[in-house]
Structure 1
Amino acid sequence: MRHRHASLIVMLFGYRHARALVSDSSRMAAKIAIVGGGISGSCAAAALASEAEVTVFDQGRRGPGGRASHRSVRASDKQIIEDDVSLSHNTKSTYEFDHGCQFFRADSEEMKRIVSQWRERVWVAPWEGSFGFLPAGKSDAFDFFGIASESSPVYIALGGMHQLPRRLLQSSRAAVEKGTRVCQIKRKDNQWELFGATGNQAYHDTNEATTDLASLGVYDAVVLTDISSASGDWHRASAGIPDELFQHLPKKVRMPLFSCMIAFEKVCRVCLCSSLSMTPLTGCLLHEAYSPFDSTRCLWFSSDGPECWTLISTPSYALQEITQDRETGAFKPQQNDYLNTVPGPTLFNAFLQTVQSFLTEQPNVVYMQAQRWGSGLPVAEELCDDIHHVAGDRFAAKLNKPLVHEVTDSGRDFVADDDLRLYYAGDFCSNRCPGFEAAALSGFHVAAHIKDKFVEKG
C-alpha cells in the first residue's frame, strides 16, 4: 500500500510541565534502557525521553518498527531499500508492503484521544477502503484482525506502518541503537548492565552463532518490550530477562504467522473485482474452502501503481513450518532459499485456489517474498483450542473465538518491580485485544508509572 509522507512534528504526550529526574535512593536516576523499538518501546520512549536519558535498543535489521514493519522494494532490481532512505524515494518505481501490522484500531477512549493527536500531526489517517469476504457472502470465518466497520474505524500510518514508531522516536530525544540484540541483563550495584551483540550475530534471521557479548552500558532502569525477551537464546530475539521479573510475567500463548509479500502486474485486482461486480477491494478475508489450512487469510493490496498484496497465513500452518528440529525447537533461519521455496509459494497457491474461479486470467507475479512472525500475537489461553509446546514456549495452532473482543476491565497492562527498577510492557501484558492499541497503551502506561514513582514532584 502507498501513502504520502508526512513531515516530522514534535509530539508531546500528556505531561505539560517538564520535571527533572534526580539521582538519590528514592527517585529515578536519569539513565533508562528500553529493549525493543517497536510499538510499545517507541511509545514509552516518547513519553520518557524529555525527562530522562533514554536509550532504545532495537534488533531490527533495517531499524525500529517491530511488528509495525514496512518494506520498500525497488522494482528495477528487487532490492530492499533501507528504511531510513525510503522517505524520499519515488513510490512509482517501488513495491510497498506493510507486512506485519497493516492497520490499527482505536477502541478505547484513551486511544481515540492519542490517535486524534497523531492525526493533527499528520502521522496517521483513517483507512477508508472497501472490505469484503471471498467467496462473496461467506462471512462465518473469524475476522480476528478486526477489519473496519462504521462503528470501529481503523487507521494507517502515513508512509507505511513503520513510520509511526520512528516518528515517535525521532520527535523525542531518545538515542536509538539499531541492529543490537540484548542477550543478558546483570545487576551491577544498584544498576543494570546490559550485554548484547551487533552485526550479523544480532539478527534473528541468520544462523550465525553469538560469540563474545559486549557491554551495552549501565542503566538505572530497564524497560523490556520485546515479546521474546523471556525466551532462551534459541529464539535469537532479545533475551536475558532476569529471573526476578520473569516469574511475574503473564503466561500467554504465542500465535505464529507467516506473511507473503506479492506484487502483481495491474491485472489481478481488475479481473477479480470485475468478476464480482464490486468496488476495487483494499482488503478482504478469504474463506479457505479449497485450502488445506482450516481458518481465514487476510489480504491487503494497493489501489494504485503496482499491485502489492500481503498474504497472512493461518496459525496452524505457521506452527507446522516454524521449527526445523522438533527435538530442539530450533527455528529455521529466515533465509530466502527456504522462505521463497516453501511458505511463500504455499500461501500463493492457496490464494489462487480460493480465488481462481473469480479470475478471468492468471495474475502475473513480479515479486514474492515470505516472512515469518514466530510470535505474531500473544493470545489468552481461553481463546485457544489447540496449544503446542515448542522449545519451552506455548504456541496456538487454532482459535475458538475472534481475537477482537470487548474489554470490560483493562487493569494494569505492564509488569513493574519498582525496587529493582525492572519493567515489562507490551500487548502480552494486557487483557485488551492483542495488537497495536494494546501495545501502544502499555508503553504509555509504563512510562507514566515510572514518572509517577520516581520523578520529582513540583
Structure 2
Amino acid sequence: MSTPIAIIGAGLAGLSAAHALHAAGLDIQLFEKSRGSGGRMGSKRSDIGVLDLGAQYFTVRDRRFADVVAQWRQRGWAAQWSPSLYNFSRGLLSHSPDEQERWVGTPRMSAITRGLLGDLPVRFACRIAEVFRGERHWHLQDAEGVTHGPFSHVLIATPAPQATALLAAAPKLAAAAASVQMEPTWAVALAFDTPLDTRVDGCFVQEGPLDWLARTRSRPGRETQPDTWVLHASSAWSRQHLDLPKDAVIEHLHGAFAELIGCAVPPSSFTLAHRWLYARPAQAHQWGALADADLGIYACGDWCLSGRVEGAWLSGQEAARRLLEHRQ
C-alpha cells in the first residue's frame, strides 16, 4: 500500500488538488480545521436558512476552468447568476454597465466544494499546527498534540499567513508565503419580513464602509428564502474596525446600507456578522503554486494567483501537476 499524500485545507484549492491527485490513482488524506468544506466558498447555517457570507459569485476566464464549470453546471452544483447590478458612487445609485457572466453554487456556494469532496477521506475539525519531516516521510501534528502520518508529500492549501507557519521546513516557500498580505472583510447578513422595494440585486459600492451588497433571493436556488441581504465591508474599513464587536459592525453596515439602497429600510428581523480575517490577497501573484519538489512539500491557494475563485481552482491544479510531474 502506497504512503498517502496529506492535503491541509478543504477549500476550493485543496479540493482541486485532491481531485487531480485522486484521479491519478494516488492516496490522499485531507485535513480541515472547520466542521465543513469550502473555506471562503463555505456556507453558514442560520435560523433563516443557509447563507453565503464569503465568495459571492465567480467569473470564468481560463479555458480549463470554463470546462470544469460546465461540468459543475451539468451536475447541478452551479448556475449562472444574472443580477440587476448597480454602482453606488458620489452619493448616486446607477445601473452598472458590467455584463460579464457570473456564476454561483446552487442551492448554496458550498454545493461545489461538497460535490468535489464526495467520498474523499477527510478529517474535519482538525487544525494542523505543525508539519515536520522525518528521515523519509512527513508527519503532521494537530492543535491537540496528536501526530498524523506518515505521508509521502504534503500539500498546504490554507491562506498565506497560515501557510507560512506550516511551511517552516521549507524556508524559501515560507518566505514567499510571508510576503503575501491578506485583506480582511467584515460580512453582515440582514433579513426583512417585508421585501425591500428595490430593483437592486447586487451593487458595487465605491465609497463609505461598504464594498458590495447582494440580495440572496435573486440567486438561482434561493428564490423562496426570506428577503436576505449580504453586505461586505471594504478592506480598509474592515482593517480599521477589525476588533469591533459584531453588534457594532451590524449597526454601522446596516446604516450604510439604508442610506444607499434607495428605498425605505425597516428594522431587520435577523442579523448575523462574520469576520473573514484572510478574505483576499492585497495583490495578484503569478506563482501558480509554491513547490519544493525535492522535499515533497507544496502550497497553493487563490493568493498564488489572482485572488479569485478561478485562481484557487487553478492553483490547486498547478500544485497537483507539479507533484505528479516530479513523481514520474
* Normalised TM-score (structure 2): 0.88
Q: Which residue of 112, 117, 126 corresponds with 2:66?
A: 112
Q: Give the conservation status (yes or no) of the 8 Å contact 2:202–2:212.
A: no
Q: Cα offset for 1:350?
A: 1.7
Out of 437, 440, 445, the residue aligned to residue 318 of structure 2 is 445
| Of 168, 187, 192, the match for 2:116 | 168
What amino acid is the match of 2:85?
F
For the residue of structure 2 that corresponds to 1:111, the secondary structure is: helix
CA distance in 1, matches of 2:141, 2:299: 18
Within-5 A mapping of 1:47-126 = 47-50=20-23, 51-60=25-34, 62-74=35-47, 94-126=48-80
- Per-residue deviation at 1:120? 2.1
Question: How far is the alpha carbon of 1:297 from its aligned partner?
Answer: 3.2
Aligned residue pairs total 317
Return the offset for 1:301: 2.6
CA contact (8 A) 2:170 2:292 kept: no
How far did 1:411 drift?
5.3
Q: Which residue of 2 aligns with 1:375?
A: 278
Deviates more, 1:155-164 or 1:300-309: 300-309
Q: CA deviation at 1:240?
A: 6.0
1:189 aligns with 2:135: yes
Give the deviation of 1:353 after TM superposition: 2.6
Q: How far does the alpha carbon of each residue in 1:212-242 deviate from its partner, in whole angstroms, 9 at most, with x for none?
A: 511122211000010132356xxxxxx5643
Change (3 A) 1:297 1:116: closer
Instruction: Report how far residue 138 of structure 1 moved.
Output: 7.8
1:34 equivalent in alignment to 2:7: yes
Distance 1:138 1:103, change over 3 A: closer
- Please name the residue that 1:407 is paired with: none
Match of 1:343 among 249, 265, 270: 249
The residue aligned with 1:158 is 106
Alpha-carbon distance in structure 2 between the residues aligned to 1:124 and 1:445? 23
Q: Which of 307, 313, 325 lines up with 2:233 in the alignment?
A: 313
Contact preservation (8 Å) 1:42, 1:168 = yes
Inter-partner Cα distance in structure 1 for 2:164 and 2:250: 26
Q: Secondary structure at the match of 1:105?
A: coil
State the Cα deviation string for residues 105-145 of structure 1 (Å, max 9, x = none).
11122211221222222221111221112433387xxxxxx
Going from structure 1 to structure 2, the CA distance change for 1:216 and 1:155 (only over 3 Å counts) comes to same
1:436 deviates by 0.4
Superposed, 1:236-251 pairs within 5 Å as 239=166, 241-244=168-171, 245-249=173-177, 251=179
**1:281 Cα deviation (Å)?**
2.8
Matches within 5 A, 1:173-322: 173-197=119-143, 212-227=144-159, 228-230=161-163, 239=166, 241-244=168-171, 245-249=173-177, 251-268=179-196, 270=197, 273=198, 280-288=199-207, 291=208, 293=209, 296-303=211-218, 304=223, 305-322=225-242
The CA RMSD over aligned residues, in Å, is: 2.4
8 Å CA contact 1:224–1:425 kept in 2: the answer is: yes
SS at match of 1:419: coil
Task: In structure 1, give the amino acid aligned to 2:312.
Answer: A
Q: TM-score, normalised by structure 1?
A: 0.64
User: Does the CA-based 8 Å contact 2:157-2:163 persist in structure 1?
Assistant: no
Percent of residue pairs bearing the same amino acid type: 25
Identify if the C-alpha distance between structure 1 residues 71 and 367 changes in structure 2 by more than 3 Å, giving closer, same or farther. same
> For residues 84 and 125 of structure 2, what CA distance do their matches in structure 1 show?
37
Structure-2 change in CA distance of 1:215 and 1:55 (3 Å):
same
Q: Is the 8 A contact 1:264 1:306 kept in 2?
A: yes
In 2, the alpha carbon distance for the partners of 1:362 and 1:158 equals 28
Match of residue 45 from structure 1: 18
User: Shift of residue 266 of structure 1?
Assistant: 2.7
How far apart, CA to CA, are the structure 1 residues paired with 2:191 and 2:18? Answer: 35
Q: Deviations over 1:179-237 (max 9, x none)?
A: 1100011111111110013xxxxxxxxxxxxxx511122211000010132356xxxxx
Q: Partners of 2:76 and 2:282 in 1: how far apart?
A: 32
- The letter of the residue matching 1:230 is A
Name stretches of at least 5 consecutive residues in structure 2 with no aligned partner.
none
Larger helix percent: 2
Distance 1:230 1:443 in 2: 14
Task: State the alpha-carbon separation in 2 of the partners of residues 451 and 240 from structure 1.
Answer: 20
- Whether the 8 Å contact between 1:250 and 1:428 is mirrored in structure 2 is no
Give 1:166's aligned amino acid: R
Amino acid at match of 2:320: A
Contact 1:96–1:308 (CA under 8 A) maintained in structure 2: no
Where 1:165 maps in the other structure, the secondary structure is: helix
Amino acid of the structure 1 residue aligned with 2:302: D
For structure 1, the 5+ residue unaligned runs are: 1-22, 24-28, 75-93, 140-147, 198-211, 233-238, 274-279, 324-331, 333-337, 381-402, 404-409
| Cα distance, 1:412 vs structure 2 | 4.4
